[in-house]
Amino acid sequence: MANVTVIGAQWGDEGKGKIVDWLASRADAVVRFQGGHNAGHTLVIDGKTYKLSLLPSGIVSGTLSVIGNGVVLDPWALRDEVAKVEGQGVSITDENLAIADNCPLILPLHRDLDGLRETAAGKGKIGTTGRGIGPAYEDKVGRRAIRVCDLAHLDTLEPQLDRLCAHHDALRAGFGQPPVDRAALLEELREIAPFVLKFAQPVWKRLKKVRRAGAKILFEGAQGVLLDVDHGTYPFVTSSNTVSGTAASGSGLGPNSTGFVLGIVKAYTTRVGSGPFPTELEDEIGQGLGERGHEFGTVTGRKRRVGWFDAVLVRQSCAISGVTGIALTKIDVLDGMEKVKICTGYRLRGKVYDYLPSHAADQAECEPIYEEMPGWSESTAGARSYADLPAAAIKYIQRIQELIECPVALVSTSPERDDTILMRDPFVD
Protein backbone atom coordinates (compact mmCIF):
# COMPACT_ATOMS: atom_id res chain seq x y z
CA MET A 1 0.00 0.00 0.00
CA ALA A 2 1.78 3.15 -1.15
CA ASN A 3 -0.79 5.60 0.17
CA VAL A 4 -2.09 6.47 3.62
CA THR A 5 -5.39 8.09 4.56
CA VAL A 6 -5.52 9.69 7.99
CA ILE A 7 -8.91 10.33 9.58
CA GLY A 8 -10.09 11.26 13.06
CA ALA A 9 -12.11 8.42 14.62
CA GLN A 10 -13.85 10.53 17.30
CA TRP A 11 -15.15 14.14 17.26
CA GLY A 12 -11.96 15.71 15.88
CA ASP A 13 -8.98 17.02 17.85
CA GLU A 14 -7.57 13.50 18.27
CA GLY A 15 -4.01 14.77 17.75
CA LYS A 16 -3.87 14.29 13.98
CA GLY A 17 -1.30 17.10 13.59
CA LYS A 18 1.67 15.22 15.02
CA ILE A 19 0.91 11.96 13.19
CA VAL A 20 0.21 13.72 9.90
CA ASP A 21 3.44 15.69 10.26
CA TRP A 22 5.44 12.50 10.76
CA LEU A 23 3.79 10.83 7.75
CA ALA A 24 3.99 14.00 5.62
CA SER A 25 7.76 14.06 6.05
CA ARG A 26 7.85 10.73 4.17
CA ALA A 27 5.12 11.41 1.58
CA ASP A 28 5.52 12.79 -1.95
CA ALA A 29 2.14 14.56 -1.89
CA VAL A 30 -0.27 15.58 0.87
CA VAL A 31 -3.95 16.06 -0.01
CA ARG A 32 -6.77 17.77 1.91
CA PHE A 33 -10.07 16.30 0.66
CA GLN A 34 -12.89 17.74 2.82
CA GLY A 35 -13.72 20.48 5.30
CA GLY A 36 -12.19 23.92 5.16
CA HIS A 37 -10.56 26.36 7.55
CA ASN A 38 -12.68 24.98 10.41
CA ALA A 39 -9.78 22.54 10.88
CA GLY A 40 -6.76 23.37 12.97
CA HIS A 41 -3.50 21.43 12.79
CA THR A 42 -0.52 22.39 14.89
CA LEU A 43 2.89 21.25 13.66
CA VAL A 44 6.07 21.58 15.71
CA ILE A 45 9.13 21.23 13.48
CA ASP A 46 12.65 21.91 14.72
CA GLY A 47 11.22 23.82 17.67
CA LYS A 48 9.08 26.10 15.42
CA THR A 49 5.28 25.99 15.75
CA TYR A 50 3.14 26.25 12.61
CA LYS A 51 -0.64 26.56 12.86
CA LEU A 52 -2.41 25.40 9.72
CA SER A 53 -6.13 25.52 8.95
CA LEU A 54 -6.54 25.09 5.24
CA LEU A 55 -3.07 24.37 3.95
CA PRO A 56 -2.13 20.68 3.86
CA SER A 57 0.54 19.72 6.39
CA GLY A 58 3.12 18.92 3.70
CA ILE A 59 3.49 22.62 2.89
CA VAL A 60 6.00 23.26 5.68
CA SER A 61 8.45 20.63 4.41
CA GLY A 62 8.06 21.68 0.75
CA THR A 63 6.10 18.54 -0.21
CA LEU A 64 3.49 18.90 -2.97
CA SER A 65 0.35 20.02 -1.12
CA VAL A 66 -3.04 19.68 -2.73
CA ILE A 67 -6.39 21.22 -1.80
CA GLY A 68 -8.93 18.86 -3.36
CA ASN A 69 -12.39 19.53 -4.78
CA GLY A 70 -14.04 18.17 -1.60
CA VAL A 71 -12.76 21.16 0.38
CA VAL A 72 -14.66 24.46 0.68
CA LEU A 73 -12.19 27.27 0.18
CA ASP A 74 -12.27 30.75 1.72
CA PRO A 75 -9.81 32.57 -0.57
CA TRP A 76 -9.23 35.45 1.86
CA ALA A 77 -8.53 33.09 4.74
CA LEU A 78 -6.15 31.19 2.45
CA ARG A 79 -4.31 34.38 1.53
CA ASP A 80 -3.89 35.27 5.22
CA GLU A 81 -2.66 31.78 6.06
CA VAL A 82 -0.20 31.73 3.15
CA ALA A 83 1.16 35.14 4.27
CA LYS A 84 1.51 33.92 7.87
CA VAL A 85 3.31 30.70 6.92
CA GLU A 86 5.54 32.51 4.39
CA GLY A 87 6.38 34.94 7.20
CA GLN A 88 7.82 31.93 9.04
CA GLY A 89 10.22 31.28 6.18
CA VAL A 90 8.22 28.72 4.14
CA SER A 91 8.11 29.23 0.38
CA ILE A 92 4.68 28.65 -1.20
CA THR A 93 4.57 28.53 -5.01
CA ASP A 94 2.56 26.83 -7.73
CA GLU A 95 5.23 24.11 -7.56
CA ASN A 96 4.28 23.00 -4.04
CA LEU A 97 0.63 24.14 -3.75
CA ALA A 98 -2.18 23.02 -6.08
CA ILE A 99 -5.85 23.95 -5.65
CA ALA A 100 -8.66 22.10 -7.40
CA ASP A 101 -10.28 24.41 -9.93
CA ASN A 102 -13.66 22.77 -9.18
CA CYS A 103 -13.43 23.64 -5.48
CA PRO A 104 -16.42 25.71 -4.20
CA LEU A 105 -15.69 29.04 -2.51
CA ILE A 106 -16.70 30.21 0.94
CA LEU A 107 -17.85 33.83 0.55
CA PRO A 108 -18.53 36.50 3.19
CA LEU A 109 -22.28 35.80 2.75
CA HIS A 110 -21.68 32.23 3.99
CA ARG A 111 -19.98 33.45 7.14
CA ASP A 112 -22.87 35.89 7.70
CA LEU A 113 -25.45 33.11 7.40
CA ASP A 114 -23.53 30.75 9.70
CA GLY A 115 -23.50 33.47 12.40
CA LEU A 116 -27.13 34.52 11.89
CA ARG A 117 -28.37 30.94 12.19
CA GLU A 118 -26.33 30.13 15.27
CA THR A 119 -27.47 33.31 17.03
CA ALA A 120 -31.11 32.63 16.13
CA ALA A 121 -30.86 29.02 17.36
CA GLY A 122 -29.93 30.14 20.89
CA LYS A 123 -29.56 27.11 23.13
CA GLY A 124 -30.23 24.78 20.18
CA LYS A 125 -27.17 26.00 18.31
CA ILE A 126 -24.72 23.52 16.78
CA GLY A 127 -21.69 25.38 18.07
CA THR A 128 -20.08 25.76 14.65
CA THR A 129 -16.68 27.32 14.13
CA GLY A 130 -18.47 30.28 12.49
CA ARG A 131 -16.40 29.96 9.30
CA GLY A 132 -19.35 29.57 6.90
CA ILE A 133 -18.63 25.89 6.23
CA GLY A 134 -22.24 24.61 6.33
CA PRO A 135 -23.76 27.35 4.13
CA ALA A 136 -20.95 26.91 1.55
CA TYR A 137 -21.61 23.15 1.28
CA GLU A 138 -25.36 23.85 0.99
CA ASP A 139 -24.71 26.08 -2.02
CA LYS A 140 -22.46 23.42 -3.54
CA VAL A 141 -25.14 20.74 -3.47
CA GLY A 142 -27.76 23.38 -4.35
CA ARG A 143 -25.79 23.90 -7.58
CA ARG A 144 -25.42 27.63 -7.11
CA ALA A 145 -21.86 27.84 -5.69
CA ILE A 146 -19.14 30.06 -7.10
CA ARG A 147 -16.11 27.83 -7.71
CA VAL A 148 -12.41 28.47 -8.17
CA CYS A 149 -12.67 28.10 -11.97
CA ASP A 150 -15.34 30.85 -12.03
CA LEU A 151 -12.68 33.33 -10.94
CA ALA A 152 -11.22 33.06 -14.45
CA HIS A 153 -14.58 34.08 -15.93
CA LEU A 154 -15.61 37.08 -13.83
CA ASP A 155 -16.93 38.97 -16.84
CA THR A 156 -19.66 36.39 -17.32
CA LEU A 157 -20.28 35.69 -13.63
CA GLU A 158 -23.25 38.03 -13.17
CA PRO A 159 -26.11 35.58 -13.85
CA GLN A 160 -24.51 33.05 -11.49
CA LEU A 161 -24.02 35.70 -8.84
CA ASP A 162 -27.64 36.82 -9.28
CA ARG A 163 -28.90 33.30 -8.68
CA LEU A 164 -26.75 32.87 -5.59
CA CYS A 165 -27.62 36.28 -4.17
CA ALA A 166 -31.36 35.86 -4.81
CA HIS A 167 -31.24 32.75 -2.62
CA HIS A 168 -29.25 34.48 0.11
CA ASP A 169 -31.28 37.69 0.00
CA ALA A 170 -34.43 35.71 0.81
CA LEU A 171 -32.70 34.04 3.76
CA ARG A 172 -31.19 37.30 4.96
CA ALA A 173 -34.58 39.04 4.79
CA GLY A 174 -35.89 36.38 7.19
CA PHE A 175 -33.21 37.43 9.65
CA GLY A 176 -33.96 41.15 9.11
CA GLN A 177 -30.68 41.66 7.23
CA PRO A 178 -30.06 43.82 4.15
CA PRO A 179 -29.51 42.11 0.77
CA VAL A 180 -26.01 41.16 -0.40
CA ASP A 181 -24.08 44.02 -1.97
CA ARG A 182 -23.44 42.31 -5.33
CA ALA A 183 -21.19 45.01 -6.76
CA ALA A 184 -18.97 44.90 -3.66
CA LEU A 185 -18.84 41.09 -3.75
CA LEU A 186 -17.86 41.08 -7.42
CA GLU A 187 -15.15 43.62 -6.67
CA GLU A 188 -13.81 41.49 -3.81
CA LEU A 189 -13.72 38.45 -6.11
CA ARG A 190 -11.94 40.47 -8.80
CA GLU A 191 -9.33 41.51 -6.28
CA ILE A 192 -8.63 38.00 -4.89
CA ALA A 193 -8.88 36.10 -8.22
CA PRO A 194 -5.23 36.38 -9.38
CA PHE A 195 -3.97 35.04 -6.04
CA VAL A 196 -6.15 31.91 -6.19
CA LEU A 197 -5.81 31.30 -9.93
CA LYS A 198 -2.02 31.09 -9.54
CA PHE A 199 -2.52 27.69 -7.85
CA ALA A 200 -5.69 26.50 -9.63
CA GLN A 201 -5.69 23.42 -11.84
CA PRO A 202 -7.52 20.13 -12.41
CA VAL A 203 -5.78 18.43 -9.47
CA TRP A 204 -7.13 14.99 -10.37
CA LYS A 205 -4.83 15.15 -13.39
CA ARG A 206 -1.81 16.19 -11.35
CA LEU A 207 -2.51 13.43 -8.82
CA LYS A 208 -2.95 10.87 -11.56
CA LYS A 209 0.54 11.73 -12.80
CA VAL A 210 1.97 11.60 -9.28
CA ARG A 211 0.35 8.22 -8.70
CA ARG A 212 1.57 6.79 -12.01
CA ALA A 213 5.10 7.78 -11.01
CA GLY A 214 4.72 5.53 -7.94
CA ALA A 215 4.69 8.37 -5.42
CA LYS A 216 3.38 8.03 -1.88
CA ILE A 217 0.24 10.08 -1.28
CA LEU A 218 -0.96 11.10 2.16
CA PHE A 219 -4.65 12.02 2.41
CA GLU A 220 -5.12 14.34 5.36
CA GLY A 221 -8.60 14.18 6.86
CA ALA A 222 -10.03 16.94 9.03
CA GLN A 223 -12.56 16.74 11.91
CA GLY A 224 -13.64 13.18 12.84
CA VAL A 225 -16.02 10.38 11.85
CA LEU A 226 -18.53 11.33 14.57
CA LEU A 227 -18.84 14.75 12.91
CA ASP A 228 -19.58 13.18 9.48
CA VAL A 229 -22.76 14.60 7.96
CA ASP A 230 -24.16 11.07 7.34
CA HIS A 231 -22.58 8.91 10.02
CA GLY A 232 -22.04 11.40 12.85
CA THR A 233 -24.22 12.66 15.68
CA TYR A 234 -26.59 14.47 13.28
CA PRO A 235 -27.53 17.34 13.36
CA PHE A 236 -24.58 18.17 15.64
CA VAL A 237 -22.05 17.49 12.89
CA THR A 238 -20.04 19.35 10.29
CA SER A 239 -21.35 19.57 6.71
CA SER A 240 -18.89 17.28 4.95
CA ASN A 241 -18.25 13.54 4.83
CA THR A 242 -15.26 13.03 7.08
CA VAL A 243 -14.95 9.26 6.48
CA SER A 244 -12.02 7.74 4.57
CA GLY A 245 -14.05 7.19 1.37
CA THR A 246 -14.14 10.94 0.83
CA ALA A 247 -10.38 10.89 0.18
CA ALA A 248 -11.22 9.43 -3.24
CA SER A 249 -14.23 11.58 -4.17
CA GLY A 250 -12.78 14.75 -2.63
CA SER A 251 -9.56 14.57 -4.64
CA GLY A 252 -10.55 12.91 -7.91
CA LEU A 253 -8.78 9.62 -7.39
CA GLY A 254 -10.56 6.28 -7.33
CA PRO A 255 -11.55 4.29 -4.23
CA ASN A 256 -8.53 2.00 -4.64
CA SER A 257 -6.19 4.90 -3.93
CA THR A 258 -6.83 5.43 -0.24
CA GLY A 259 -4.35 2.74 0.91
CA PHE A 260 -3.78 2.18 4.63
CA VAL A 261 -6.56 3.91 6.59
CA LEU A 262 -5.08 5.20 9.83
CA GLY A 263 -7.72 6.21 12.39
CA ILE A 264 -6.46 8.67 14.97
CA VAL A 265 -7.92 7.93 18.39
CA LYS A 266 -7.39 9.81 21.65
CA ALA A 267 -6.93 7.63 24.76
CA TYR A 268 -10.01 9.39 26.22
CA THR A 269 -12.77 11.40 24.49
CA THR A 270 -13.28 15.11 23.75
CA ARG A 271 -15.73 17.18 21.76
CA VAL A 272 -16.19 20.90 21.00
CA GLY A 273 -19.59 22.35 20.28
CA SER A 274 -23.01 20.98 21.18
CA GLY A 275 -24.47 17.49 20.86
CA PRO A 276 -24.67 14.12 22.60
CA PHE A 277 -21.62 12.83 24.45
CA PRO A 278 -22.49 9.70 26.49
CA THR A 279 -19.22 9.43 28.49
CA GLU A 280 -18.87 13.16 29.25
CA LEU A 281 -17.36 13.92 32.67
CA GLU A 282 -18.63 17.11 34.22
CA ASP A 283 -16.72 16.58 37.48
CA GLU A 284 -13.19 17.16 38.73
CA ILE A 285 -11.91 14.04 36.88
CA GLY A 286 -12.97 15.61 33.57
CA GLN A 287 -11.58 18.96 34.66
CA GLY A 288 -8.20 17.32 35.45
CA LEU A 289 -8.06 15.49 32.10
CA GLY A 290 -8.94 18.71 30.25
CA GLU A 291 -6.17 20.63 32.03
CA ARG A 292 -3.51 17.97 31.60
CA GLY A 293 -4.49 17.42 27.98
CA HIS A 294 -4.63 21.19 27.19
CA GLU A 295 -8.09 20.67 25.77
CA PHE A 296 -8.80 24.00 24.10
CA GLY A 297 -9.79 24.30 20.41
CA THR A 298 -6.98 25.29 17.99
CA VAL A 299 -9.32 27.34 15.79
CA THR A 300 -11.80 28.92 18.19
CA GLY A 301 -9.97 28.61 21.55
CA ARG A 302 -13.13 27.06 23.04
CA LYS A 303 -12.81 24.72 26.02
CA ARG A 304 -13.35 21.11 24.90
CA ARG A 305 -15.77 18.81 26.68
CA VAL A 306 -13.97 15.77 28.11
CA GLY A 307 -14.97 12.17 28.98
CA TRP A 308 -13.87 8.54 29.33
CA PHE A 309 -12.84 6.44 26.35
CA ASP A 310 -15.90 5.24 24.45
CA ALA A 311 -15.09 1.93 22.75
CA VAL A 312 -18.58 1.70 21.23
CA LEU A 313 -18.11 4.91 19.26
CA VAL A 314 -14.59 4.10 18.11
CA ARG A 315 -15.61 0.57 17.03
CA GLN A 316 -18.41 2.14 15.00
CA SER A 317 -16.07 4.74 13.45
CA CYS A 318 -13.48 2.11 12.54
CA ALA A 319 -16.11 -0.06 10.86
CA ILE A 320 -17.72 2.83 8.95
CA SER A 321 -14.40 4.17 7.77
CA GLY A 322 -12.67 0.86 7.01
CA VAL A 323 -9.83 1.65 9.41
CA THR A 324 -6.77 -0.58 8.89
CA GLY A 325 -5.09 0.38 12.16
CA ILE A 326 -5.31 3.13 14.77
CA ALA A 327 -2.85 5.61 16.22
CA LEU A 328 -3.61 5.99 19.93
CA THR A 329 -2.68 9.47 21.14
CA LYS A 330 -2.32 11.29 24.48
CA ILE A 331 -2.02 8.15 26.62
CA ASP A 332 0.26 10.19 28.92
CA VAL A 333 -2.70 12.39 29.92
CA LEU A 334 -4.08 9.38 31.84
CA ASP A 335 -0.85 8.98 33.88
CA GLY A 336 -1.39 9.13 37.66
CA MET A 337 -5.06 8.15 37.63
CA GLU A 338 -6.05 5.55 40.20
CA LYS A 339 -8.69 4.00 37.94
CA VAL A 340 -9.61 4.34 34.28
CA LYS A 341 -12.95 3.54 32.70
CA ILE A 342 -13.90 2.36 29.22
CA CYS A 343 -17.46 2.48 27.88
CA THR A 344 -18.39 -0.91 26.43
CA GLY A 345 -22.11 -0.42 25.69
CA TYR A 346 -25.14 1.77 26.36
CA ARG A 347 -28.32 1.30 28.31
CA LEU A 348 -31.34 2.95 26.72
CA ARG A 349 -34.85 2.56 28.11
CA GLY A 350 -34.05 -0.85 29.59
CA LYS A 351 -32.29 -2.21 26.50
CA VAL A 352 -28.54 -2.70 26.00
CA TYR A 353 -26.98 -1.31 22.79
CA ASP A 354 -23.58 -2.17 21.29
CA TYR A 355 -23.80 0.79 18.87
CA LEU A 356 -24.90 4.42 18.93
CA PRO A 357 -28.49 4.66 17.67
CA SER A 358 -29.14 7.18 14.89
CA HIS A 359 -31.73 9.46 16.51
CA ALA A 360 -30.41 12.50 18.42
CA ALA A 361 -32.89 12.01 21.27
CA ASP A 362 -31.84 8.37 21.69
CA GLN A 363 -28.19 9.37 21.57
CA ALA A 364 -28.77 11.96 24.27
CA GLU A 365 -30.40 9.37 26.54
CA CYS A 366 -27.77 6.64 26.13
CA GLU A 367 -26.29 5.75 29.50
CA PRO A 368 -22.77 4.37 29.30
CA ILE A 369 -21.96 0.91 30.65
CA TYR A 370 -18.42 1.01 32.01
CA GLU A 371 -15.63 -1.43 32.54
CA GLU A 372 -13.18 -0.24 35.18
CA MET A 373 -9.46 -0.93 35.04
CA PRO A 374 -6.58 -0.08 37.38
CA GLY A 375 -4.70 3.08 36.39
CA TRP A 376 -0.92 3.56 36.58
CA SER A 377 1.19 5.92 38.66
CA GLU A 378 4.30 5.73 36.45
CA SER A 379 4.82 8.15 33.55
CA THR A 380 4.24 7.04 29.97
CA ALA A 381 5.33 10.44 28.62
CA GLY A 382 8.09 10.09 26.07
CA ALA A 383 7.99 6.25 25.91
CA ARG A 384 9.35 4.95 22.61
CA SER A 385 8.86 1.22 23.01
CA TYR A 386 6.19 -1.03 24.45
CA ALA A 387 8.69 -2.19 27.10
CA ASP A 388 8.87 1.38 28.46
CA LEU A 389 5.16 1.37 29.33
CA PRO A 390 3.76 0.39 32.74
CA ALA A 391 1.93 -2.97 32.73
CA ALA A 392 -1.43 -1.34 33.50
CA ALA A 393 -1.07 1.03 30.51
CA ILE A 394 -0.30 -1.94 28.23
CA LYS A 395 -3.42 -3.72 29.53
CA TYR A 396 -5.48 -0.58 28.84
CA ILE A 397 -4.19 -0.38 25.25
CA GLN A 398 -4.76 -4.10 24.68
CA ARG A 399 -8.31 -3.87 26.02
CA ILE A 400 -9.05 -0.94 23.70
CA GLN A 401 -7.72 -2.93 20.76
CA GLU A 402 -9.99 -5.88 21.62
CA LEU A 403 -13.08 -3.76 22.14
CA ILE A 404 -12.75 -1.68 18.98
CA GLU A 405 -11.91 -4.76 16.89
CA CYS A 406 -9.05 -2.97 15.17
CA PRO A 407 -5.26 -3.21 15.70
CA VAL A 408 -3.18 -0.44 17.26
CA ALA A 409 -0.56 0.59 14.68
CA LEU A 410 1.14 3.19 16.82
CA VAL A 411 0.96 4.91 20.20
CA SER A 412 1.89 8.54 20.70
CA THR A 413 3.31 9.43 24.11
CA SER A 414 4.01 13.19 23.81
CA PRO A 415 3.68 16.00 21.26
CA GLU A 416 7.28 15.36 20.12
CA ARG A 417 7.58 13.59 16.77
CA ASP A 418 9.94 10.87 18.05
CA ASP A 419 7.92 10.01 21.15
CA THR A 420 6.02 7.32 19.30
CA ILE A 421 5.77 3.55 19.70
CA LEU A 422 5.51 2.03 16.24
CA MET A 423 3.94 -1.39 15.76
CA ARG A 424 3.00 -1.14 12.06
CA ASP A 425 4.32 1.41 9.60
CA PRO A 426 1.31 2.60 7.53
CA PHE A 427 3.49 3.44 4.52
CA VAL A 428 5.12 0.01 4.51
CA ASP A 429 2.35 -2.29 5.70
Q: Which residues bind ligand IMP (CB under 6 A)?
A: 12-13, 38-40, 126-129, 131, 133-134, 222-223, 227, 236, 238-239, 272-273
What residues have CB less than 8 Å from 43, skipping those under 6 apart? 17, 18, 21, 49, 50, 51, 52, 57, 60
**Minimum distance, C-beta of residue 370 to ligand IMP, in the bound complex (Å):** 25
- Tell me the CA distances in angstroms from 218 to 2, 22, 53, 58, one per residue in order: 9, 11, 17, 9
Q: In what order do the strands lie in the sheet with 200-201?
A: 200-201, 97-100, 64-67, 29-32, 217-220, 4-8, 260-266, 325-329, 408-412, 420-422
| Nearer of residues 142 and 382 to ligand IMP, judged by Cβ | 142
| Nearer of residues 33 and 396 to ligand IMP, judged by Cβ | 33
**Minimum distance, C-beta of residue 131 to ligand IMP, in the bound complex (Å):** 5
Which residue is closest to ligand IMP by CB?
273
CB 146 within 8 Å of CB 104: yes
| Nearer of residues 126 and 400 to ligand IMP, judged by Cβ | 126
Pairing status of strand 269-271 against strand 305-307: antiparallel
| Catalytically annotated residue among 21, 37, 41, 101 | 41
| Catalytically annotated residue among 13, 150, 310, 332 | 13
**Minimum distance, C-beta of residue 186 to ligand IMP, in the bound complex (Å):** 26
**Minimum distance, C-beta of residue 51 to ligand IMP, in the bound complex (Å):** 12
**Minimum distance, C-beta of residue 40 to ligand IMP, in the bound complex (Å):** 6
**Minimum distance, C-beta of residue 29 to ligand IMP, in the bound complex (Å):** 22
**Minimum distance, C-beta of residue 121 to ligand IMP, in the bound complex (Å):** 12
Pairing status of strand 325-329 against strand 260-266: parallel
| Nearer of residues 275 and 325 to ligand IMP, judged by Cβ | 275
| Nearer of residues 90 and 272 to ligand IMP, judged by Cβ | 272
231 is an active site residue: no
| Nearer of residues 37 and 211 to ligand IMP, judged by Cβ | 37
167 is an active site residue: no
- Give CA–CA dist 270/369, Å, rounded: 18
What residues have CB less than 8 Å from 232, skipping those under 6 apart? 225, 226, 238, 242
**Minimum distance, C-beta of residue 332 to ligand IMP, in the bound complex (Å):** 21
| Nearer of residues 32 and 341 to ligand IMP, judged by Cβ | 32
**Minimum distance, C-beta of residue 297 to ligand IMP, in the bound complex (Å):** 7
Amino acid, res. 386: Y
- Catalytically active residues are 13, 41
